[in-house]
Structure 1
C-alpha cells in the first residue's frame, strides 16, 4: 500500500510539473508576443486594414533603408580606395581635377 501511495504521489508531481511548465511556457509566449497555437494554427488576430497599412509602411521604409545602405556601401568603397591608395597617385588625381578642362 505504501508503494502504491508513493507511485500516486510521483505521478501527481510529474503531472503538476508538466502543467506548470506548460502554463509558464504559454505565459512567456504571450508576454513576448509569440503566437499561441492550437493544432498548428496561430491564434492572433486576423490581419485587418490597420495591420495591412502598417505592413505597407514598413515595406516602404525597408526599401528606402536598403537604398540608403547601398549608397553608403558605394561611399565606403570610395573612402577605402582613397585610404589604401598610395599618396602619389592620389595627389595626381587631385591635381588633374584642379586643372581646367579645355
Structure 2
C-alpha cells in the first residue's frame, strides 16, 4: 500500500520543520552550555569539559581567592554582630561587671 503523493506533500513540510527546529534547539542548547561552563556530553553520555585555556583557569583561581576572602570577612562580621547583640540585650549591671572584670584582668 503506497501513500498518495498528496499526503506526502502535506506531511513533508511538517517533517522538515520538526527536523529544523530540533537542530536549532540542539545548537542553541550546546552554545548555552559552552557559554556558561557546563560540560558537554560525548556519544556515551559522559561529560566532556570544553578546554577554556589558561584564561578560564586563572579566572576560576581569582574567583576562588575572592570567595575565600569574602567568607573570612563574613565570619568576622558575624562574630562582631554577636558581640553587639549581646551588648544590646544584656542587663547594664552584668555588662558593667564584665567590663570591670576585663579591666582587672588587663592590669594583672
Give, in whole Å, the separation in 1 of the partners of 2:58 and 2:22.
Answer: 41
In structure 1, what is the equivalent of residue 71 of structure 2?
66
CA distances 1:25-80 after superposition (whole Å, capped 9, x unpaired): 234345x433462513122234x4x6655555554444433333322222121111
Structure 1, unaligned stretches of length 5 or more? none
Structure 2, unaligned stretches of length 5 or more? none
Deviation >6 Å, runs of 4+: none
Q: Report if aligned partners of 2:40, 2:49 keep a CA contact under 8 Å in 1.
A: yes
TM-score for both structures, normalised by structure 1: 0.63
Higher RCO (CA-CA < 8 Å; seq separation 6+): 2
Q: Which moved more, 1:65-74 or 1:55-64?
A: 55-64
Give, in whole Å, the separation in 1 of the partners of 2:32 and 2:102.
Answer: 65
Distance 1:99 1:71, change over 3 A: closer
Are 2:20 and 1:13 equivalent residues in the alignment?
no
In structure 2, what is the equivalent of residue 22 of structure 1?
26
Q: Report if aligned partners of 1:35, 1:44 keep a CA contact under 8 Å in 2.
A: no
Report the aligned-residue RMSD: 3.2
TM-score for both structures, normalised by structure 2: 0.61
Give, in whole Å, the separation in 1 of the partners of 2:71 and 2:39.
Answer: 32
